[in-house]
Amino acid sequence: MNDHYIIKAESITKTYHSGRTIIKAIDNVSINIAKGDFLMITGRNGSGKSTLLHQLALLDSPDSGAIHIEEKNTTKLHEKGRMEFRLLRLGYIFQEYALIAELTAIENVMLPAMMLESIKKAKRKAFELMEKLGLEEKVNRLPSELSGGEQQKVAIARALINRPKIIFADEPTANLDTIASKDVLDIFKYLNQKESITIVMITHEPEELAYAKSKVQLSDGRIVS
């Protein structure tokens, strides 16, 4: 396999059943993503963007086909192996932030690291990340006490805490105003260019495509461009 590619997906298909109707959310898609790419996935609602992202990010399994990440055939991993792979190598940022309401900002950031190391070390790493993102005065706030932009920065810090090679972002700016959206995209640009993190992101916003190094457009579960 070509070492140039960090993700190589071959002929992946994902089908859902709605009553008697069979819906091919992803229809025989193959895609190679280069190390250090900033790939944006576009397409209309229902085109299969989130389904594709969930397959590539190991949040779901395709019905057929294979997904290699860093030369490992992840489709052959059992659930425990998939969970460990996600924890050690992949980071996730969602449209709805996915923060735990009862935990403070720093506790949310610490969570993935606490599965691998001591609470003390996880807390130190979490604070350092939050400081880099300008959140040092928000560490003990609950998510409900933060703005949307601040919540998404907490989610970014959480995604970064185990030093992932790839970050998957599903419409991370959809609930943010223009200024907060630019903030998030500038952070992604920095992570991609300075930290060499590969980013795979879904967007609906045409102006955000300027940040991408490459783009794919989906329609009816297939890549059309």
The 10s digit of each residue's pLDDT in 94-124 is 989 999 999 999 999 999 999 999 999 999 9
Q: Look up residue 3 and give its two tokens.
A: 């070492």
Q: What is the pLDDT of residue 225?
A: 86
Q: Spell out the CATH class of 36-62+77-223.
A: alpha beta
The 10s digit of each residue's pLDDT in 54-98 is 999 999 999 999 999 999 999 989 999 999 999 999 999 998 999
The 10s digit of each residue's pLDDT in 131-143 is 999 999 999 999 9
Q: What is the pLDDT of residue 97?
A: 92
Q: What is the pLDDT of residue 3?
A: 62
Q: Cα(208)–Cα(51) distance, rounded to whole angstroms? A: 21
Q: Cα(54)–Cα(46) distance, rounded to whole angstroms? A: 14
Q: What is the pLDDT of residue 1?
A: 42
The 10s digit of each residue's pLDDT in 185-224 is 999 999 999 999 999 999 989 999 999 999 999 999 999 9
Q: What is the pLDDT of residue 19?
A: 87
Q: What is the pLDDT of residue 18?
A: 85
Q: Would the pLDDT of 2 be above 60?
A: no
Classify burial at 171, counting beta carbons within 10 Å of its beta carbon; exposed 0-12, middle 13-18, buried 19 or more: buried
Tell which wins on pLDDT, 33 or 95: 33
Q: Look up residue 39 and give its two tokens.
A: 């790939």
pTM of the model: 0.94
The 10s digit of each residue's pLDDT in 8-27 is 999 999 999 888 898 899 99
